[in-house]
Amino acid sequence: MADSGIGSRTTRREDKRFLTGKGRYTDDINRHGQAYAYFLRAPVAHARVTGIDTSAAETAPGVVAVFTGKDMEADGVGSLPCGWVVTDKHGQPHKAPPHFPLVRDAVRYVGDHVAMVIAESAAEAKDAAELIQVDYEELPAVVDPMQARSSQQIHEAAPENLCYDWELGDKAAADAAFAKAAHVTKLDLINNRLVPNAMEPRAAIGEWDSGTDEYTIYSTSQNPHLLRLILCAFVLGLPESRVRVIAPDVGGGFGSKIFAYAEETACTWASKKIGGRPVKWTAERGEAFLSDCHGRDHVTHCELALDADGRFLGMKVDTTANMGAYLSSFATSVPSYLYATLLAGQYTTPVVYANVKAVFTNTAPVDAYRGAGRPEATYVVERLVEIAARETGRDPAELRRLNFIKPDQFPYQTPVALMYDIGDYEPSLDKALSMIDYKGFGARKAASEARGKLRGIGLSAYIEACGIAPSAVVGSLGAGVGLWESATVRFNATGTVAVMTGAHSHGQGHETTFAQLVSEKLGIPYENVEIVHGDTGRIPMGMGTYGSRSLAVGGSAIVKACDKIIAKGKKIAAHLMEASEGDVEFANGQFTVAGTDKSKAMAEIAFTAYVPHNYPEGVEPGLDETAFYDPLNFTYPSGVHIAEVEIDPDTGITTIADWVAVDDFGNVINPMIVEGQVHGGIAQGVGQALLEHTVYDRDSGQLLTGSYMDYAMPRADNFPTFRVETTTSACTHNPLGVKGCGEAGAIASPAALMNAITDALGVEIDMPATPEKVWRAAQAKLRVAAE
């Protein structure tokens, strides 16, 4: 068991099916009699729809049905809700305009859903869609969040296209702190809009059974129960008990598959409309670019006040966040509670004030994307701190150290609502500095310069908050759901175990990590543990996977369920060994009686539970326990990433020369999986900082980066070999002492890379640091140097 328990680098059991083409994704599933849906999408960014003529499409070859928003309206289909109500600074709820799965009166972004064609084949559905005549009365479109408030209104319910004007922190106290400052660093930042680009595009099959009046939805969802809840309670008005959502293998999500979208809603509704034939839809890559929820898209002005010794006195942040054309499922929480609450970073900054204006534009909806708010916060804090160090002539590492919250200050109440339970920041900093040979940077820079290259180094000391919790707190902040997790641990009579978890794996390796955990907890072979997830018909109600919550919250639920199994096992073991329950101990899979050599193996207890011939009185047969876990607090992973870059001033090409990451994720169950998560996160952060850019045409609102020809995804040759290490301060409030690692890389890395690039260039540029931008800055620097 040593090679598969907690702490071992067990290879991922799910990889066998993934790497041999045996994964079973939604598009691999074909249902008897299935028809295919195609969505006619808005070709313009903003227009009144004055007429839709579907008659020619309806009689086209293979067409089963054509539906528009009017059909849904007649059927009482509701609006896709936003599940988090943010209260603005005047005490008013955010503006939540309707978001109908198929548009009713207007289209509001290129890709908006105009009509649905269902046909015998996807090709016929697409052919027929071309025959639909839509009358558009075009309206001016706005894509830039800074122009939103003075542009054509997009929703009746949202004057000035303002969703909310929200604040956190004490403005007067911040102003007072700034008045005392010896130095103020000011910065304007753009956090560029990203397209999530999961490898598997979204897909759905909606199926209504006319015999039982039950629905089955196959969907690429990160949280099948949440999808069921939203569709049943808000949009389609169905009883949850009649709806089963199956999210089979899912090929990446990064947040974009949390949300309830128009397409799965429409497929589910339409299946009944056409008499019960399953309706399948699979996004093309181009549709994914247009209609998956995007990430980030902030414009920020921020300021940091320092005293004469370099201590942070206060921070002020003013952000405009682009919500896109409609509010996606959790969009409003991202630039508010998942963002401004992280602005204290790892520092003792006593006062922070943030003002966030969320606005509507004629672009795809924006919602959580790997990190969701925390990358934006880290980018603000870590860019500000770095620039402050440069401006005041301090070593950036030492300025951070000076302002770190010290180990004896935990639990630490930040000025932006969060209470950090634990952290120890200097060991990560010291380890990272030593790994990258920080002292040797000057020599490396000189060597680069001798070759005509510019070299820069940049740090990012991030903090993040995972496992959004506890439910009561998030509820008080506007969340429409609870954020606990569930698990069932079910022994079979022969000693094997099925674990039903409410968390969902779409690349994270839960089938391995959770099995390692259960194997260790129950002292049974790793091979005997099977992890079941992603099917509301098989698992207890669960909240799914996002926000790096699966191990911290879902894993804790599993531990609780295991504890219940052990407690019950003790009763059975006590009976079998004729001992009192209080004397029975459990370790390494054996129940023993203190002070005797009596013992019973877990498997034997399980067998007895199901074949209870000799059984304690008053104890139920069976060994099958369910637990729900509601965390007491967020967890707070932290760490230090350092990037070193070399820039070719002739071309503007940035090469990442080295990257070190030292992360404190608390206890680690599978270091290999954790490193993989960090690698992937850094890759996405580097993508944001160096390559990825979502560009809408300012006049027409067309998406100009709608394919891989124009949207630059990072590739393996964009990276050095990452050097990844961990330090450990175990989380104090969950039973595993774990914190979460899924998003850290994407949270830490953009700031580290941009700090390195701007260190090399000596001037500020915004992300992504494209070759042309870098070249222009490098030329300016060389010109100045020559003068």
Partner 1 sequence: MYDFTYHRPSSLEEAAKLLAGAEDGKILAGGHTLLPTLKQRLAQPSDLIDLSGIKELKGISEAGGAVVVGAMTPHGDVADSSVVKARIPALAHLASDIGDAQVRHRGTIGGSIANADPAADYPAAVVGLGATVKTNKREIAGGDFFKGLFETALDENELVVSVSFPVPEKAGYAKFANPASRYPIVGVMVAKTAGGVRVAVTGAGASAFRWTEAEQALSANWSADAIKNLTHGPDGLNSDIHASAEYRAHLIGVMARRALAAAG
Q: Considering the rule CB under 8 A, would residue 190 count as an interface residue with partner 1?
A: no
Task: For residue 137, give the amino acid letter.
Answer: E
Member of 97, 98, 286, 470 binding partner 1 (CB under 8 A)? 286
Distance between CA atoms of residues 95 and 551, nearest Å: 34
Give dist(CA 626, CA 552) in Å, integer.
Answer: 17
Cβ 472 to partner 1 shortest distance, Å:
46
- CA-CA-CA-CA torsion for 303, 304, 307, 310, nearest 10 degrees? -140
Nearest to 587 by CA among 491, 522, 633: 522
Instruction: Using the rule CB under 8 A, give the single segment among 11-19, 60-68, 215-223, 701-709 that binds partner 1.
Output: 701-709
Shortest distance, position 695 Cβ to partner 1, whole Å: 5
Q: How far is the CB of 705 from partner 1 (least distance, A)?
A: 7
Nearest partner of 516 among 1, 6, 3, 9, judged by Cα? 6
Q: Is 75 in the site for partner 1 (CB under 8 A)?
A: no
Q: Which residues does residue 569 pair with via DSSP β-bridges, in sequence order?
A: none
Q: Which helix (H) or strand (E) holds 270?
A: helix 262-273
What is the closest distance, in whole angstroms, from the C-beta atom of residue 743 to partner 1 in the complex?
24
Nearer to partner 1, 495 or 768 (CB): 768
* 164, 85 Cβ separation under 8 angstroms: no
Query: Cα angle at 558 between 83 and 542, to 5 degrees?
Result: 25
Rg over alpha carbons for the chain, rounded to the nearest Å, is: 27
772 near partner 1 (CB under 8 A): yes
Of 475, 710, 720, 780, the one binding partner 1 (CB under 8 A) is 710
From the list 188-196, 289-297, 303-311, 685-693, the region that binds partner 1 by CB under 8 A is: 685-693
Residue 709 near partner 1 by CB under 8 A? yes
**Contact between 713 and partner 1 per CB under 8 A:** yes
**Site for partner 1 contains 123 (CB under 8 A):** yes
CB of 275 to partner 1, least distance (A): 29
Q: Are 114 and 53 in contact (CB under 8 A)?
A: no
Q: Does 308 bind partner 1 (CB under 8 A)?
A: no
- Binding mask of the shown chain, residues 239 to 278, with x at each position contacting partner 1 by CB under 8 A: ----------------------------------------
Q: Which of 402, 691, 730, 765 binds partner 1 (CB under 8 A)?
A: 691
- String marking each residue 628-657 x if it binds partner 1 according to CB under 8 A: ----------------------xxx-----
Name the minimum Å distance from CB 533 to partner 1.
Answer: 34
Single out the residue of 252, 276, 671, 771 in contact with partner 1 (rule: CB under 8 A).
Answer: 771
* Of 125, 127, 137, 121, nearest in space to 44 by CA: 137
DSSP 8-state assignment for residue 44: S
Q: Please answer whether residues 372 and 334 qualify as being in contact, where contact means their C-beta atoms are separated by less than 8 angstroms.
A: yes
Give the Cα-Cα-Cα angle 606, 611, 616 (nearest 5 degrees).
Answer: 80
Strands of the sheet containing 298-306, edge to edge, are: 162-168, 352-360, 312-324, 298-306, 183-191
- Residue 775 C-beta: closest distance to partner 1, Å: 6
**Residue 766, Cβ density class (10 Å: 0-12 exposed, 13-18 middle, ≥19 buried):** middle
Show the tokens assigned to 672. Answer: 């290999």
Using DSSP's 3-state secondary structure scheme, residue 745 falls into helix
Query: Beta-carbon neighbour count of residue 491 at 10 Å?
Result: 26
Number of residues that bind partner 1 (CB under 8 A): 25
- Among the listed ranges 120-128, 210-218, 414-422, 479-487, the one in contact with partner 1 (CB under 8 A) is 120-128
Task: Give the footprint of partner 1 on residues 125-144 (CB under 8 A).
Answer: 126-127, 130
Q: How far is the CB of 704 from partner 1 (least distance, A)?
A: 6
Question: In the 3-class helix/strand/coil scheme, how is 516-551 assigned residue by residue?
Answer: HHHHHHHCCCHHHEEEECCECCCCCCCCCCCCCCHH
Determine if 770 is a binding residue for partner 1 (CB under 8 A): yes
Residue 708 engages partner 1 in binding (rule: CB under 8 A): yes
Contact residue for partner 1 among 1, 473, 695, 730 (CB under 8 A)? 695
Q: In the set 87, 426, 775, 781, which binds partner 1 (CB under 8 A)?
A: 775
> Quick one: which of 705, 725, 728, 735 contacts partner 1 (CB under 8 A)?
705
Given the complex with partner 1, which of 1 and 653 has the nearer CB atom?
653
For residue 333, give the 3-state DSSP assignment.
helix
Q: Does 711 bind partner 1 (CB under 8 A)?
A: yes
CB burial of residue 344 (10 Å; 0-12, 13-18, 19+):
buried
Binding to partner 1 by residue 43, rule CB under 8 A? no
Closest distance of CB 655 from partner 1, Å: 13
Among 419, 443, 594, 704, which residue sits at the site for partner 1 (rule: CB under 8 A)? 704
Which part of the chain contacts partner 1 (CB under 8 A), choosing from 543-551, 628-636, 700-708, 746-754?
Answer: 700-708
Q: Which residues bind partner 1 (CB under 8 A)?
A: 123, 126-127, 130, 286, 650-652, 690-691, 693, 695, 704-705, 708-713, 770-772, 775-776
